[in-house]
Structure 1
Amino acid sequence: MLESNRQKILSTVPQKGFFGHPKGLFTLFFTEFWERFSYYGMKAILVYYMYYEVSKGGLGLDQSTALAIVSIYGSLVYMSGIIGGWLADRIFGTSRAVFIGGILIMLGHIALAIPGNITFFFISMVLIVLGTGLLKPNVSSVVGEIYSEEDSRRDSGFSIFYMGINLGGFVSPLVVGAVQSNYGFHLGFACAAVGMFIGLVVFLVTKKKNLGLAGTFVANPLSPTEKKKVFSIIGLAIIIIAILCAIAIPTGILNFETFIGLIGILGILIPTMYFIVMYRSPKTTKVERSRIIAYIPLFIASVMFWAIQEQGSTILATYADKRTQLDFAGIHISPAWFQSLNPLFIIVFAPVFAWLWMKLGKRQPSIPKKFSFGLLFAGISFLVILLPAYFGGSESLVNPLWLVLSYFIVVIGELCLSPVGLSATTKLAPAAFSAQTMSLWFLSNAAAQAINAQIVKFYTPATEMVYFGIIGGASIVLSIILFILSPKIQSFMKGVH
């Protein structure tokens, strides 16, 4: 963005008004809070809605199919962020992208609230994927626009904004899970729609006064000639895809299994292409190429970590529903409530880790070693959850504290890896590809969930111990390899610590 535009934006944003931060942070905090409320609330009950019998208000899908759909959905959400970022940078501007994304998300949740219709279910998935791709990356970009680059409040502002994300993720499964348990799935999804509606109202009502011109400038607008060319290509691509689907679906070439396989291939192929393009680009310096080499094992480690962490909303969600004692200490627990554990632990322990790294200073572990610790804890979280079956068999219901412990351990791993990965990405990214490298970081999650869609079908009560044992063991082995190789990886980072 041009420096003159930055100055125009800053002059229109009230610089005090929300805990000593710009007033616009209020708008963005609550927009993101309600968006995350709607997203995580819906996701907390989504897998149950798919595999519960029709008589219980569900769609009656096979459990393996339901688990794969949730994984594919999560993968596509992260992939769509690339499209959302491009549209904001070249066509919409971030503010309009946030608003359009919010509307699509709300419509998606409304479609889910319509009882017992598989067509509306898939329409809702498409709407939410597109909407989240538009809103999620761009609302974060607007946060950056309301601060000058030299503003000492900037990091603190992002921390407050991050707290809004986790507060929304913490509250929503409790509310939506309780509504679903008492009144059914569709009212639960309606709660998610209402949450997104509130977020849109907050954004619209306070945007002009609090955000000023933030989000209104198109960073790199298409010229009229480029617009004509791009829209022609997009239109042609849509027509070709429609024709291929019209041929492939009736003939059985494109079915659910092949679609899962296709997303799995894209999950690996897209980041691989990113690495090749960045490494071979003439804009990438020799030092930056070395840093790209260092980034590759970190990316692979991230894929392994998220493959375990994201199963919290698939395999562990199913485990909570079917294998866990839900009457505990005189309380009946909704299985969806376990989805609140991850954001709760992050809210509590993120400040502790921030303090710890500050306290250790130059004595803190290197970036590759922190990643290895993240993988270690992720692997242990899966080994922990196989212990109840080892001691009590696969037929008896498990004390819910085992599940709480598993979620807690993986969050410790997440705090070793996720914020460190974001920071490392900004440091290791080639200057010419700084924004795209951040997209690449998020693609590690997309790749992980694309892989999960392939492997969740192997989970059954009979294979429970083998499933958790192999995946958890693989993560621990990879953590040891990464720890051993960390000095070599560090040498390729060329001064980045």
Structure 2
Amino acid sequence: MSSDAPVGARPPAGKTFFGHPRALSTLFLTEMWERFSFYGMRAILVLYLTAAVADGGLDIGESTANAVYGTYNAMVYLMALPGGWVADRLLGARRSVLAGGVVIAAGHYVMAIPTGWSVFAGMALIVVGTGLLKPNISTMVGDLYERDSARRDAGFSIFYMGINLGAFIAPLVTGFLGEKINWHLGFGAAAVGMTFGVIQYVAGRRNLGDAGAHPADPLLGADRRRALTRAGVAAAVLLVALLVLLLAGWFTVDTVVNLLTVLTVLVTLGYFTRILTDREISDTERSRMKAYVWLFLFAAAFWLIYDQAGSVLNIFAADRTDRTVGGFTFPASWLQSVNPILIIIGAPLAAGLWLTLGHRVSTPTKFAVGLVLNGLSFVLMAAAARAAVGGDLVSPWWLVAVYALQVAGELSLSPVGLSATTKLAPVKYASQMLGLWFLATAVGDAVGGQVARLAQSWSQSTYFLTFGLASVVLGLAAVMFTRQIRGLMAGIH
């Protein structure tokens, strides 16, 4: 996906937003409401799936619910690849974002229907819509600035504040409505949030100028017809496959989840194979991509643990923590707001730290720090689980401390990984590498969803300690091989 605006793609002059183009406010609010809907629904999803039917839930086993949650997250990030392609070749970023927002809102409204099937149909729509919106709205933010503009990074920092603001507010609203009143009312609140996002996006379109108005590399004539035909054939094959599964009696939640997990891994393997075997990239670019493979694996291992906050840790919050304050028992999902508020506080501190350290700390070392901190969070969770043995409720401060460690790890790995992705990318694949970085999260979430099944069959302390120590060991191994990885990076720090 291109992040360079064509000549004349600047927004109109006039009022500014914190000293930045007024269009940034439109994109900021769109992203804030999209994240509100995403994290709001995600905060109560597993709790709804596992709740008893008498309590309005689906009474799905924890292992299956955790796998559904992980696969859903994986599909959201996997769809960023075709979503970016649609914008680049067919619709342009602006129309893709609008279409994505409408589809996301529709998905949440479907989930608000009080029936058992609505949650899965709604999630499918949200996956498609997020794939169209998420990567392309970031592209539009980039289009507001010249590539070498000193304000570009600051603009993205403001934009990312919108992400975390929406993620912070969402669980407080949907969690109260879903857990205290009705699950589908919580899903409905997420739908209303995305609707607000779409309305203000349409109302603010005059501020956008030409940013994202046209495809970066449009398909025309026969090429366009050929691409649409292939897409239609792929859709038909998918429908036939689903029909076969249904007629054979294999169309179950577990079967679909397992197939999507395999698909995520195969797409990733195919993507890396395509790049590494491409004869048009130079030996230096190929070497850097080999280094990136290691960073990718480290990132996938990180997200495997980190994104269990909404599944395994969310269930722990519901079942094993004392959430009563002054006679009021606050919803378990409220603890999902801890992560974004810590990111808002910690992101400027992390940015200042990396700026101070400069090149004295390499990218692989920063990844190693992230893995170690992430692993220590699960080691701490093992202690919390041990304290809860026998049905005792533990303080929610255990989870706050766990999330603090995880956020510190995220700030060591995630923004650094995004930067490394752009620096290590072969020229030919520069516009596609952001999608490849999203694949690291997709793989981590897909595999993590399968791993999280073990949380029901193992003792909780054993589960957390095993994977916590595994992450710490992997982080230490990354430190040991830092010199070799830096050598493959061929001059990139």
Which category describes the TM-score, using the shorter chain as reference length?
Answer: over 0.9
Alpha-carbon distance in 1 for matches of 2:4, 2:43? 44
Query: Could you tell me how far 1:46 is from its partner in structure 2?
Result: 1.0
Which residue of 2 is the match for residue 247 of structure 1? 244
Q: How does 1:257-272 map to 2 (within 5 A)?
A: 257-272=254-269
Aligned to 1:443: 439
Separation in structure 1 between the aligned mates of residue 318 and residue 457 of structure 2, nearest angstrom:
13
Alignment partners' CA distance in 1, 2:134 and 2:89: 17
State percent identity of aligned pairs.
Answer: 41
Taking structure 2 as the reference length, the TM-score comes to: 0.97
Partner of 1:380: 376
Residue 151 and residue 258 in structure 1: after superposition, are their counterparts in 2 closer, same or farther (change >3 A)?
same
- 1:86: Cα distance to partner? 0.6
Match of 1:146 in 2: 144
Between the aligned partners of 2:122 and 2:169, the Cα distance in structure 1 is: 22
In the alignment, which residue of structure 2 is the partner of 1:84? 83
Contact 1:304 1:448 in 2 (8 A): yes
CA contact (8 A) 1:428 1:493 kept: yes
Residue 103 (structure 2) pairs with residue 104 (structure 1): yes
Counterpart selection for 1:347 from 338, 341, 344: 344
Deviation at 1:269, TM superposition (A): 1.7
Match of 1:419 in 2: 415
**For residues 293-336 of structure 1, what are the alpha-carbon distances to aligned partners after superposition, in whole Å with 9 as ceiling and x for unaligned?**
11111111101100000000110011111111111465522101
What is residue 33 of structure 1 aligned with on the other side? 32
Which residue identity does 1:157 align to in structure 2? G
SS of equivalent residue, structure 2 residue 407:
helix
Task: Render the CA deviation track for 1:4-62: whole Å, top value 9, x for unaligned.
Answer: 9722211x432651011001101000010111011111111111111111221212222
2:471 paired residue number: 475
**How far off is 1:198 after superposition?**
0.7
Instruction: Report if the CA contact (8 A) 1:15-1:21 is conserved.
Output: no
Tell me the amino acid that sits aligned with residue 246 of structure 2.
I
2:454 to 452, 458, 476: 458
Residue identity matched to 1:68:
A
CA shift for structure 1 position 248: 2.3
Residues 248 and 331 (structure 1 numbering): CA distance in 2 closer, same or farther, change over 3 Å? closer
Equivalent residue number for residue 275 of structure 1: 272
Length-normalised TM-score, structure 1: 0.96
Letter in 1 for 2:483: P
CA contact (8 A) 1:14 1:24 kept: no
Give the Å deviation of 1:72: 0.9
Superposition deviation, residue 392 in structure 1 = 5.0
For the 8 Å contact 1:13–1:214, the answer to whether it is kept is: no
Correspondence list, 1:108-257, <5 A: 108-115=107-114, 117-208=115-206, 210-257=207-254
Post-superposition CA distance 1:403-450 (Å, at most 9, x none): 111111011000000000000101001111012222111101100111
**2-side partners of 1:3 and 1:373: how far apart?**
30
Q: Tell me the distance in 2 between the aligned counterparts of 1:16 and 1:155.
A: 20
Equivalent residue runs for 1:68-79 within 5 Å: 68-79=67-78
Cα separation, 1, equivalents of 2:117 and 2:358: 54
Distance in 2 between the 1:4 and 1:466 partners?
Answer: 49
Q: Does 1:389 align with 2:385?
A: yes
Write the deviation string for residues 151-210 of structure 1: whole angstroms up to 9, x where unpaired: 2110000000011000100111111112223321122111111111111111001111x1
Q: What is the one-letter code of the residue matched to 1:60? A: D
1:135 Cα deviation from its structure 2 partner: 0.5
Offset, 1:394? 4.6
Aligned pair in 2 of structure 1 residues 271, 146: CA closer, same or farther (>3 Å)? same
CA distance change for structure 1 residues 2 and 29 in 2, over 3 Å: closer, same or farther? closer
Amino acid at match of 1:356: L
Quickly say closer, same or farther: Cα 1:15–1:9, change in 2 above 3 A. Answer: farther
- Alignment-mate amino acid for residue 175 of structure 1: V
Which residue number corresponds to residue 366 of structure 2? 370
**Moved beyond 6 Å, runs of 4+:** 1-5
Where does 1:272-311 land on structure 2 (aligned, <5 Å)? 272-311=269-308
1:130 Cα deviation after fit: 0.4
Deviates more, 1:170-179 or 1:322-331: 322-331
Deviation at 1:347, TM superposition (A): 0.2
- Alignment check: 8 A CA contact 2:5 2:142 kept: no
Please give the alpha-carbon distance, in whole angstroms, between the structure 2 residues aligned to 1:334 and 1:37: 17
Q: Which consecutive unaligned segments of at least 5 residues does structure 2 have?
A: none
Counterpart residue number, 2:7: 7
Decide whether the 8 Å contact of 2:140 with 2:212 is kept in 1.
yes
- 2:3/2:140 contact within 8 Å kept: no
